[in-house]
Structure 1
Amino acid sequence: MAELDIYWIGLLALLPGVALVAGRKLILRSLKRSTDPSEKDIVGDQRQREALAKDFRRTFLQVYLLVMGSEWLQGPYLYSVLRDEKHLSPNMVAILYTATYSTAALFAPFTGILADRFGRRAACLTFCAIHSLSSLSVLSEAIPILVLGRMLGGVGITLLWTAFESWMVTEYNARGLGFGQTAIRLSDMFGIMTTANCINAILAGVLAHCVVLALGSKTDPFMLGLALDAGAALLMLRTWKENRGVGAAMAVMEGEINSTSEGVSQRKSSWFRDLMASLQDRRILILSMVSSCFEGTIFLLMFCWPGALKEAYSRGSGRDQDSKLLPYGVIFANFMAAMVLGALAFNILMRRSRSLADPSCSTSTLPTALLSSSLMLAGLCFLAAAFAKSELQLFVAFLLLEACNGMYVPSIAYQRGRIVKDSGRASVYGLMNLPLFLFVIAALLTTAEDGGTHRFIIFIFCAVLLLIAAVVSFIGLRDSQEGKGDFIEVPGFDKDVDTCEEEKV
């Protein structure tokens, strides 16, 4: 067990930091409520708006965290199941991963469009069904079934990355929460999603490790994920309303659009125009390029880190790397703990910028600066990983990479939420993911080799790509954020600094 100490020590060192930073707000808020009688004076419409905002947050997060928990239970063990339990070659594992992202690339242009047309809730329910079938496929030893399962997983990825966030943003706008001066802003929702999701992933990683130790098979976390998918589907059926394009949904509620063929044709025409206008927006092209670079390199990291850590252990100890029994769930929990610290840093910086600086400046330039900074630092971390000599150095570089990931996720989500129109949000998100899937496919086709020299080249390539993306994002997005009206206003980012509330964690 001594050889595994660095991962347990890392987790024990990170968890107090996560608890301290995340819990600080809750403690301060409770003290403020107990000593500040002014909060008791909040009555009428404001109290009702706050209650609606909290109900919306709870309604979304309880479903979102269940489906993400299912994914996090399985993620750390997929590579190990294929390599260690099914004894597939590195080349075959790469082919299975490629099947996932090839399918995702094929369906990316269509899943978002179908979600906008037939409903985002329906798309989320479809994800639960597809993800469950994909999980069941790992029980089989037959290559065709494993390939089919990975292909279903690819469809699931496109739904997971488009439908849930699209439902949340559209529902947030439809309820008028941002314009109602509630304490939960849209940027706060992105920060809350990332923070809660990372804490969720920490718990899922440790739980998956315990399940594997108790039951003896690395396929057992996949079966536990089935129960979470089923619970999420039941909650969606009970608590979520369907939404499509916000323009059409709001018009239907107000009785402004009739059910005639002419009205339907007008809605389709408006949706198509919005979609085409979005795809011609230079900022959306920049975001697609940035997300392809960052998220693609993170996928390569997830594919490479088990072998990289094993090889570093072998190099430092002189033992065969197959003797290294990595606690995959614990390492994954470390990664997620680092990621949640990055997300909390985003929350804190955004809150302080709203309270200390000119709000019209902070809400337009700071997210871009944070996005570019996370890309730049991630590139430097990949350089450090490429030249790391010991297992500990490599592990620390990976932790820092995940911290950058934690800051990147709410930053890019803020940019997407600000730029993309609600009427075609899921469609645009799906198309924006297409370059990412193509990038991952091309990268996976080069990862059949399993040697350290090959991983060194991959890490150097990732570093260069991220440094380029950092420069492009800073130049391309900064110039368009001067308050000239070409951005879609994000509900909740008010011009009045006095309306800023304490950040919700």
Structure 2
Amino acid sequence: MEAFYYLVFGALSAVVLGIELSKTTKDRINTSPAFNSFKNNYLVVYSLMMAGDWLQGPYVYFLYTTYGFGKGDIGQLFIAGFGSSMLFGTIVGSLADKQGRRRACVTYCITYILSCITKHSPQYRILMIGRILGGIATSLLFSSFESWLVAEHNKRGFEQQWLSLTFSKAIFLGNGLVAILAGLFGNLLVHTFELGPVAPFDAAACFLAIGMAIIMSSWSENYGDPSENKDLLSQFRGAAVAIASDEKIALLGAIQSLFEGSMYTFVFLWTPALSPNDEEIPHGFIFATFMLASMLGSSLASRLMARSSPRVESYMQIVFVVSSASLLLPIVTSFLLPPSKVKGEGISFSSCLHILGFCTFEACVGIFWPSIMKMRSQYIPEEARSTIMNFFRIPLNIFVCIVLYNTVHWFNIGLLKSNLFGSHLQHDQSVNAFPISVMFGMCSIFLFVASILQRRLMMIADKPSKSLP
């Protein structure tokens, strides 16, 4: 492994450690023992849930290829997952407000465990069912747990400022440390113990089962709107009215969709961007480096949210501008630096610059998650929290499905060019460089628009919110 990877990983580790050790009393929030017990219980459960998710991510594509499926079939499976999250996940997630958030969290565990079990079958239909179940579980993961936490935090009478502490710690652990450990553990199961690509899914099911047992034994139930005269359609209508009538909620939803859409697109693009000619890159180590950068961002967010100034609405403008600039780097380097034509060589100078830019973007992701959680806790009405949060994911899932569809389409065009004009084009950057640059540019524009919307949100942050009808 080239020294550059160690250098970046070591530098990020030193910065994260320095930030954590240098925190002063101004950067820490004084809390009560009761809250600490509540927070630690939630962090254990959330970390187990994220471990179950992170263990699967790096091996889904690899598992499908071992079953003999091509990129087109795999693309359809991924599209099915995001489409399921948009359609079925929105309905199931919204039921949490009426049927109970704790029950929705247990449903997440059961649904994702069933999705893991389907990975043992090489049959396409069974795998498709698994993707649909996984899409439903994803919607529950990113709505029900946060909704339960906010409602339970308020029900127990804890101070509002303490909520940001739980958010930042959850992202630091769940989207940082747990992601790194899950990647290493999955690599151990597949490559060291040679248990095969389905082993991480079995391990994920075990972690999810443990988390479900903790939820069922220690969590109490809470609801958004327990009224019996409100059916699901009425909930959707009320959530839509809330988004349309309250500019802050609408802005928050647009900002979230723009950023998360860019983030998921980045997940698809970083590998071809760093290895346009099939260069040998350590995917697992680079992934761990990105997660370390995300931990750096969440550490910065915990410091910022512990203080009264600057406000979340203020510093997030800067975060969006920086993230927009970081995703412009591949486009800039493609114009300024000559592309390498040699297949399989080590990392190029432009790819080194890309990694630095991508780590900057991941640090912005680490700041984004706890910050958007805090803003959602302030602006989204409690009685329809899960419903509105799942509404926010509809444009996100549409966008990601379009990206996936075009990714498969562009691959087929590149394959056709190779067949028509000779094998010398198969590894030519011109086959993939243009669509990759276009998509990075599109993401950069989206993030810049998010910064403009964030500025507007800051201007009206103190405006009273409207209550649901």
TM-score surpassing 0.5? yes
- Equivalent position SS for 1:185: helix
Change (3 A) 1:76 1:10: farther
Report how far residue 445 of structure 1 moved.
Answer: 1.3
TM-score normalised by length of structure 2 = 0.83
Contact 1:112–1:428 under 8 Å retained in 2: no
Per the alignment, residue 330 of structure 1 pairs with 285
State the distance in 2 between where 1:279 and 1:236 align: 31
Per the alignment, residue 229 of structure 1 pairs with 208
Residue 242 (structure 2) pairs with residue 278 (structure 1): yes
CA RMSD of aligned residues (A): 2.6
Of 273, 298, 318, 1:343 maps to 298
Residue 383 (structure 2) pairs with residue 419 (structure 1): no
Report how far residue 58 of structure 1 moved.
Answer: 1.3
TM-score normalised by length of structure 1 = 0.78
State the distance in 1 between where 2:42 and 2:184 align: 24
Residue 156 (structure 2) pairs with residue 175 (structure 1): yes
Report how far residue 172 of structure 1 moved.
Answer: 0.3
Per the alignment, residue 143 of structure 1 pairs with 124
Contact 2:101–2:148 under 8 Å retained in 1: yes
State the distance in 2 between where 1:275 and 1:116 align: 11
Q: Which runs of 5+ in 2 are unaligned?
A: 338-349, 412-431
Per the alignment, residue 219 of structure 1 pairs with 198
Residue 41 (structure 2) pairs with residue 59 (structure 1): yes
Contact 2:111–2:136 under 8 Å retained in 1: yes
Residue 326 (structure 2) pairs with residue 381 (structure 1): yes
Of 282, 292, 303, 2:257 maps to 292
State the distance in 1 between where 2:39 and 2:363 align: 25
Change (3 A) 1:387 1:484: closer
State the distance in 2 between where 1:221 and 1:9 align: 29
Report how far residue 277 of structure 1 moved.
Answer: 4.7
Residue 77 (structure 2) pairs with residue 96 (structure 1): yes
Report how far residue 468 of structure 1 moved.
Answer: 1.5
Of 160, 168, 173, 1:191 maps to 168
State the distance in 2 between where 1:170 and 1:433 align: 21
Contact 1:418–1:487 under 8 Å retained in 2: no
- Equivalent position SS for 2:157: coil
Change (3 A) 1:157 1:67: same
Of 307, 324, 338, 2:272 maps to 307
> What letter matches 1:210 in structure 2?
L
- Equivalent position SS for 1:139: coil
Report how far residue 213 of structure 1 moved.
Answer: 2.4
> What letter matches 1:278 in structure 2?
A
Change (3 A) 1:266 1:396: closer
Change (3 A) 1:243 1:264: same
Alignment of 1:363-402 (within 5 A): 366-388=311-333, 390-402=350-362
> What letter matches 1:438 in structure 2?
I
Instruction: Count residues in correspondence.
Output: 425
> What letter matches 2:13 in structure 1?
L
Deviation digits for residues 155-186 of structure 1, max 9, x if unmatched?
A: 0111001100000000001001016xxxx612
- Equivalent position SS for 1:434: helix
> What letter matches 1:286 in structure 2?
L
Residue 186 (structure 2) pairs with residue 208 (structure 1): yes
Q: Which runs of 5+ in 1 are unaligned?
A: 33-38, 40-48, 249-262, 315-320, 489-505
> What letter matches 1:279 in structure 2?
I
Deviation digits for residues 241-297 of structure 1, max 9, x if unmatched?
A: 11112x75xxxxxxxxxxxxxx74499999789645522222222122111111111
Residue 382 (structure 2) pairs with residue 429 (structure 1): no
Deviation digits for residues 388-447 of structure 1, max 9, x if unmatched?
A: 453212222211110111111112111111001111111111112111111111221111
Per the alignment, residue 500 of structure 1 pairs with none
Change (3 A) 1:486 1:19: same
- Equivalent position SS for 1:485: coil
> What letter matches 1:430 in structure 2?
N
Change (3 A) 1:454 1:278: same
Per the alignment, residue 111 of structure 1 pairs with 92
Of 5, 8, 14, 1:7 maps to 5
